[in-house]
């Protein structure tokens, strides 16, 4: 009996694996068309200045509404786009949308856009960002690009040069998911980050795990010394917010303030954040 049950599990596992591979192939096959057809678009999640409670920015997050498979998470399609070679195209498509949409954001807040490893390795990164800014008319000072530590694992010198060029035209560079992956202090020595985004895994347990708070405070002190701002990701409760304010983190982002929404729904999300008092009141005249 045990043997046949074991065998059944193998068959079951085999089928699940085959379905998974089939789904990945489906996604890979449809990627290029989806980018061209606008099935992949940017949603925006607001960021809040913790000291003043004011709106301080919004992050563009890619979404895919697939006609057959339904909504697919970027956690699933970004890695597939990376291995299939569509990620550079996809990344610039999101960047273009974000720069265009940001022109309509209230209070001239900046927009943050995630850059993939392949984009940071792209020879045309600086020229493409410059061109998209020119075409859309968004001032460079209103664009922030987020990269993860992993971009500095390959050909770090070349990537650093490209990121510095972007900074020289006025674009800010943020280190995303800080504290996860292969964190190395060398990444802080070799490049002047404008922002450190502390990964949400540290925020999640900040009330229960003393070490998480100790780490956040240490990062915050380090950031101050190197002239970078600290953003905390994944703020979900007022209790978390209170403690993060107490240790002087600069900016908060998370479901407490709002989930990622389409550009059209952003004003409503901002109004809701005001109504729930997670955001200070901004004069209505500031809305577009």
Interface residues with Mg ion (CB under 5 A) are 114, 146, 176-177, 233
Among 122, 260, 266, 278, binds ligand C2E (CB under 6 A): 260
234 lines the binding site for ligand C2E (CB under 6 A):
yes
Nearer to ligand C2E, 5 or 239 (CB): 239
Q: Is 254 in the site for ligand C2E (CB under 6 A)?
A: yes
Name residues contacting ligand C2E, limited to 68-87 (CB under 6 A).
73-75, 78
Instruction: Give yes or no for a contact between 241 and 249, defined as CB atoms under 8 angstroms apart.
Output: no
Q: Specify whether the CB–CB gap between 261 and 44 falls below 8 A.
A: yes
179 lines the binding site for ligand C2E (CB under 6 A) = no
Segment contacting ligand C2E (CB under 6 A): 3-11, 120-128, 215-223, 249-257? 249-257
Residue 236, binding choice from Mg ion, ligand C2E, none, Cβ under 5 to 8 Å by partner class: ligand C2E
Is there binding between residue 62 and ligand C2E (CB under 6 A)? yes
Measured from each CB, the residue nearest to ligand C2E is: 254
The CA-atom distances, in angstroms, between 217 and each of 52, 188, 222, 223 are 19, 16, 9, 10
Return residues touching ligand C2E (CB under 6 A).
45, 61-62, 73-75, 78, 91, 94, 114, 116, 146, 176-177, 200, 233-236, 253-255, 260
């Amino acid at each position: 009996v045990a043997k046949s049950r074991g065998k059944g599990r193998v068959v079951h596992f085999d089928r699940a694996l085959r379905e998974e591979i089939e789904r990945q192939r489906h996604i890979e096959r449809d990627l290029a068309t989806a980018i061209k057809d606008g099935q992949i678009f940017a949603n925006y999640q607001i960021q809040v200045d913790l000291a003043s409670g004011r709106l301080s920015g919004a992050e563009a997050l890619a979404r895919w509404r697939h006609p057959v498979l339904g909504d697919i998470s970027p956690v699933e399609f970004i890695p597939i786009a990376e291995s299939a070679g569509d990620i550079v195209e996809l990344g610039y498509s999101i960047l273009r949308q974000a720069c265009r949409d940001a022109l309509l954001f209230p209070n001239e807040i900046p927009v943050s856009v995630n850059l993939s490893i392949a984009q940071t390795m792209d020879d045309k990164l600086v020229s493409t960002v410059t061109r998209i800014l020119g075409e859309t008319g968004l001032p460079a000072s209103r664009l922030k690009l987020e990269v993860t530590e992993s971009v500095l694992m390959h050909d770090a010198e070349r990537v650093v040069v490209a990121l510095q060029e972007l900074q020289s035209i006025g674009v800010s560079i943020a280190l995303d998911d800080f504290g996860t992956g292969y964190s190395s202090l060398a990444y802080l020595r070799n490049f002047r980050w404008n922002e450190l985004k502390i990964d949400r895994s540290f925020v999640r347990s900040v009330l229960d795990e003393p070490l998480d708070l100790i780490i956040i405070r240490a990062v915050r002190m380090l950031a101050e010394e190197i002239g970078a701002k600290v953003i905390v990701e994944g703020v979900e409760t007022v209790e978390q917010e209170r403690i993060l304010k107490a240790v002087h983190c600069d900016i908060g982002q998370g479901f407490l303030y709002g989930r990622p929404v389409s550009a059209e729904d952003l004003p409503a999300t901002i109004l809701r954040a005001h109504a729930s008092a997670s955001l200070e009141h901004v004069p209505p005249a500031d809305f577009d």
